[in-house]
Amino acid sequence: MIEEEEIDLLLTDLFEVYGYDFTHYSRASLKRRINRLWLLDKFPSFAELRFRVRSDTDYLKRFVEEVTVNVTEMFRDPQFYRVLRTEVLPTLAAKPFIRIWHAGCSTGEEVFSMAILLTEANLIHKSLLYATDLNPEVLETARSGIFAMAPMKQYSENYILSGGKNDFSAYYTAQYGHVKFNSSLSEKMVFSTHNLVSDQSFNEFDLILCRNVLIYFDKVLQQRVLTLFDDSLGPLGYLALGAKETLKFSTLQSTYRQVSGEKIWRKQS
């Protein structure tokens, strides 16, 4: 097992050599993932792992991919999407233009889910979805709009439970065990790397989604990221978090109102 001091050394290397700051990530989660990688890749010593991370940019990509969590699915938590469909998008419909930010978008399943909602609300033509992640590898997957065929049955069920009325398969074409989603969805998306730890606000948004990312951060970093989102939301904008995340106990609690018992808050001014 890798010791605490060794993890400190690795985190210092990542910051000094590459500018990745993982110091405020949840320590238990980080330690578990680094140990898993150390065992998986059969390093004879910690020194070997450290040398590889410092000197091999290809291995660095693998390291970052393993320590940042990329678990996602389309229409994840269908009731959440039902509330977006019935309560959030109708209030955004009056806007001349709608900007949405998916922060920590991973491989893009939730961005495509949102594009489908916007299409069905007849809002896609005046919307732009910004999808960002720390990891450039997962962004490439998201940008391609190509996903494995296997989970589509589950995604279709999620879609129907979210209030979808169409045939879900109309949104993609299937080929050789994969599906490619329609370009009418992806042409409204802008993909770019963004580091929630160190990067600044880059636009004003009507809706920000960052689901199941904050749970991997410590309290200090959670507050910093929530402040970044607050700075990035326009008046009466919406912030959506994951099932185990909350604005309670943050400095923003008094300036947001929760929507429908779901993990969606609306800025009050």
Tens of pLDDT along 165-205? 999 999 999 999 999 999 999 999 999 999 998 899 999 99
Element at 265 (helix H, strand E): strand 264-267
Q: What span, in angstroms and rounded, lies between the C-alpha atoms of 76 and 102?
A: 14
pLDDT range class, residue 36, cuts 50, 70, 90: confident
Give the pLDDT confidence score for residue 79 in this predicted structure.
95
The residues, any chain, with a CB within 8 Å of residue 240's CB and separated by 6 or more, are 80, 84, 207, 208, 209, 210, 211, 262, 263, 264, 265
pLDDT range class, residue 69, cuts 50, 70, 90: low
Two structure tokens written together for 109: 């399943």
Residue 88, pLDDT above cutoff 90: yes
**pLDDT, greater one: 268 or 135:** 268
Contact 203, 232 (CB under 8 A): yes
Flag the least confident range among 34-43, 57-66, 87-96, 112-121. Answer: 57-66
Domains (range + CATH), the chain: 4-67 (no CATH), 78-267 (3.40.50.150)
pLDDT range class, residue 57, cuts 50, 70, 90: confident
**What single-letter DSSP state applies at residue 14?**
I
CA atoms within 13 A on the CB side of 212: 12
**What single-letter DSSP state applies at residue 73?**
-
Tens of pLDDT along 96-135? 999 999 999 999 999 999 999 999 999 999 999 999 998 8
Q: What span, in angstroms and rounded, lies between the C-alpha atoms of 1 and 42?
A: 12
pLDDT range class, residue 226, cuts 50, 70, 90: very high
pLDDT range class, residue 70, cuts 50, 70, 90: low
Give the pLDDT confidence score for residue 217 in this predicted structure.
87
Contact 73, 254 (CB under 8 A): no
Two structure tokens written together for 224: 């910093």
Q: What span, in angstroms and rounded, lies between the C-alpha atoms of 15 and 151?
A: 36
Flag the least confident range among 20-24, 182-186, 238-242. Answer: 20-24
Residue 183's alpha-carbon distances to 156, 171, 175, 188, in angstroms, are: 19, 9, 16, 9
Question: 216 has which bridge partners?
Answer: none
Element at 267 (helix H, strand E): strand 264-267
pLDDT range class, residue 9, cuts 50, 70, 90: very high
Two structure tokens written together for 66: 């393993």
* Per-residue H/E/C for 230-242: HHHEEEEEEEEEC
Strands (E), the chain: 98-103, 127-133, 146-148, 172-175, 178-181, 189-193, 205-210, 233-241, 256-258, 264-267
pLDDT range class, residue 76, cuts 50, 70, 90: very high
Tell me what percent of the residues of the chain surpass a pLDDT of 90. Answer: 70
pTM of the entire structure?
A: 0.82
